[in-house]
Structure 1
Amino acid sequence: MSRALFDLTGRLALVTGSSQGIGLAVAKGLAEAGARVVLNGRDPAKLAAAAATLAEAGIAAEQAPFDVADPAAVEAAVGGIEARLGPIGILVANAGVMRRAPSAEMPPAMWREVLATNLDGVFWCCQAVGKRMIARGRGGKIVLVGSVMSELGRPTIAPYAASKGALRSLARTLCAEWARHGIQVNALAPGYVETELTGTLVNDAEFTAWLCRRVPAGRWGKAEELVGAAVFLAAPASDFVNGHMLCVDGGLTGAL
């Protein structure tokens, strides 16, 4: 099998929400496969720290601080990145937030905050990058980061689950529109992955015991274990894969 199928040399990749966790791991993996990477987050200090972490591993990463929930900021940032660095060939739309409350008591502001980032923000990024890919006529790769909650439900996370479920349909719809332009739009669905954002649950002995019984693999996932799937969806190896959601969840969605 040719290594060229997974070679990202010469491609520019924008990874949103990449100052930590899954986004940072994916950005590192794309860079190791040859891509030039642009990190994104809302906090410039955290973004600089992430870039410094990659620099220690010998990876030079650009930084683009902006809020994906602000369509004007997204449009300006994407235009600026392309003017400065060249065309974005890979978008990994990873930025997301989680808020918890019983659905019967969910404040409207909480619902809107989650949807604004997890769904609206993904669309604004896809739109800004996708229309430029279409105009160039050279194709491209867009990877939406969903969740096992694209497939499952769990109490107190209605806006998060709704947003992630919507991403599966968004990937299919953008596939239906953009595949003829040589653009592949797919979704990556992580399971329960140990990151800074899941630390409280990881340290909850009762929850972790339940999870290890429920997941066929019997453990939490690691952010690095999403890299292979992300590189596949960003690489020539997936040129005929479109509108698909790839679960990386230790078997959680595949077994009762």
Structure 2
Amino acid sequence: MAQPQRRIVVVGAGSGIGAATAAHFHAAGAHVLAVDLRDNDTPATEHRRCDLRDGAAIEALLAGIGDGWDLLAHVAGVPGTAPAGDVLEVNYLGMRRTVTGMLPLLRTGGAVVTVASVAALGWQQRIPELEGLLAATDEAAVRAWQAGQDPAYPVYSTSKQAAVLFATRLAPAAWQKYGVRVNTVSPGPTETPILGDFETSMGKELLDTVKATVGRHATAADIVPVIEFLGSPAAGWVNGHDLHVDGGFVAPMSAGGRLAL
């Protein structure tokens, strides 16, 4: 018996990892809804535009796509070179609204995979500070919270820390109420159109150090199969997990260093 066609929503499908994710599932025969801020030619079954800074736009999008989806791959994000408000509203608040709004539209056994970042490293130590951000559920509250933070702390890291913390806390409730798993994928530096923005905001020297340590930056082709796995029945008992996809750069930091061979 033929398997039913999978139904996938990819948010941030216009370029980079999101475009590669949408194209991958489309080539595999899935019905793919590609969502992005701008028009694009990413291979997909259908395309919609949505500004993740606009809560009403997210509501309108979700109200018009129906239910029975198998996977939400939420890949959209902006780098730290963007205004702080935009970074938090897209990477955290817009993601939160999209994910929570999609839960009842996903079938039992479905999944959410959100792309975070290894820039979220250390989120466990910042939970007390991030509590206020997780309590902020509209743009004004998010901006008010950020106004009280140390302006020297990278807002991109904050946004991804909040994304990981939110997904980790959401996962048990999403599983119990909807039968939907929620996980995050945290890439290291990846060859995408916004890599230059990350070199500007994080420092090219730092990213070059990562590259030298593991041999190269990732490509979208390194990340997409991990999104596919976490969204598949093969990962049916993986929930509330943040999976680093960074060539092994971060792991030794929490293990006391690297072994020499």
TM-score band, normalised by the shorter chain? Answer: 0.7 to 0.9
CA distance in 2, matches of 1:26, 1:149: 21
Q: Which has the higher helix share?
A: 1
Q: CA 1:205 to 1:148, structure 2 compared with 1: closer, same or farther past 3 Å?
A: closer
Secondary structure at the aligned position of 2:194 is classed as helix
CA distance in 2, matches of 1:74, 1:187: 20
Secondary structure at the aligned position of 1:141 is classed as strand
CA distance in 2, matches of 1:236, 1:15: 18
- How far residue 8 of structure 1 moved from its aligned partner, in angstroms, is 8.4
1:129 — aligned with what?
102
**What's the TM-score once normalised by structure 2's chain length?**
0.76
2:154 — aligned with what?
158
Secondary structure at the aligned position of 2:226 is classed as helix
Q: Which of 217, 221, 225 in structure 2 is aligned with 1:224?
A: 221
Q: Which of 79, 90, 106 in structure 1 is aligned with 2:71?
A: 90
Secondary structure at the aligned position of 1:40 is classed as strand
- How far residue 72 of structure 1 moved from its aligned partner, in angstroms, is 1.5
Secondary structure at the aligned position of 1:26 is classed as helix
Q: CA 1:157 to 1:232, structure 2 compared with 1: closer, same or farther past 3 Å?
A: farther
1:25 — aligned with what?
20
Decide whether the 8 Å contact of 1:149 with 1:161 is kept in 2.
Answer: yes
Q: CA 1:156 to 1:95, structure 2 compared with 1: closer, same or farther past 3 Å?
A: farther
Whichever residue aligns with residue 111 of structure 2, its letter is K
CA distance in 1, matches of 2:204, 2:36: 31
Whichever residue aligns with residue 75 of structure 1, its letter is E
- How far residue 209 of structure 1 moved from its aligned partner, in angstroms, is 4.1
Q: Which of 245, 252, 255 in structure 2 is aligned with 1:248?
A: 245
Q: Please, which runs of 5 or more residues in structure 2 have no aligned partner? A: 124-150, 254-261
- How far residue 206 of structure 1 moved from its aligned partner, in angstroms, is 5.4
1:192-231 matched pairs, under 5 angstroms: 192-199=189-196, 209-213=208-212, 215=213, 217-231=214-228
Instruction: Write the deviation string for residues 102-134 of structure 1: whole angstroms up to 9, x where unpaired.
Output: xxxxxxxx322110000001011012111333x
Whichever residue aligns with residue 79 of structure 2, its letter is M
Secondary structure at the aligned position of 1:95 is classed as coil
Whichever residue aligns with residue 131 of structure 1, its letter is P
Q: CA 1:70 to 1:39, structure 2 compared with 1: closer, same or farther past 3 Å?
A: same
Decide whether the 8 Å contact of 2:79 with 2:197 is kept in 1.
Answer: no
- How far residue 172 of structure 1 moved from its aligned partner, in angstroms, is 1.3
- How far residue 9 of structure 1 moved from its aligned partner, in angstroms, is 5.2
Secondary structure at the aligned position of 1:250 is classed as coil
Q: CA 1:205 to 1:131, structure 2 compared with 1: closer, same or farther past 3 Å?
A: closer
Q: CA 1:227 to 1:126, structure 2 compared with 1: closer, same or farther past 3 Å?
A: same
1:37 is aligned to 2:32:
yes
1:43-192 matched pairs, under 5 angstroms: 43-44=38-39, 47=40, 49-50=41-42, 54=43, 60-82=44-66, 87-100=68-81, 110-133=83-106, 138-151=108-121, 158-180=154-176, 181-192=178-189
Decide whether the 8 Å contact of 1:100 with 1:156 is kept in 2.
Answer: no
Decide whether the 8 Å contact of 1:145 with 1:187 is kept in 2.
Answer: yes
Decide whether the 8 Å contact of 2:17 with 2:220 is kept in 1.
Answer: yes
Secondary structure at the aligned position of 1:252 is classed as coil
Whichever residue aligns with residue 246 of structure 1, its letter is L
CA distance in 2, matches of 1:237, 1:221: 24
Instruction: Write the deviation string for residues 151-190 of structure 1: whole angstroms up to 9, x where unpaired.
Output: 159x967111011011111111111211123100000111
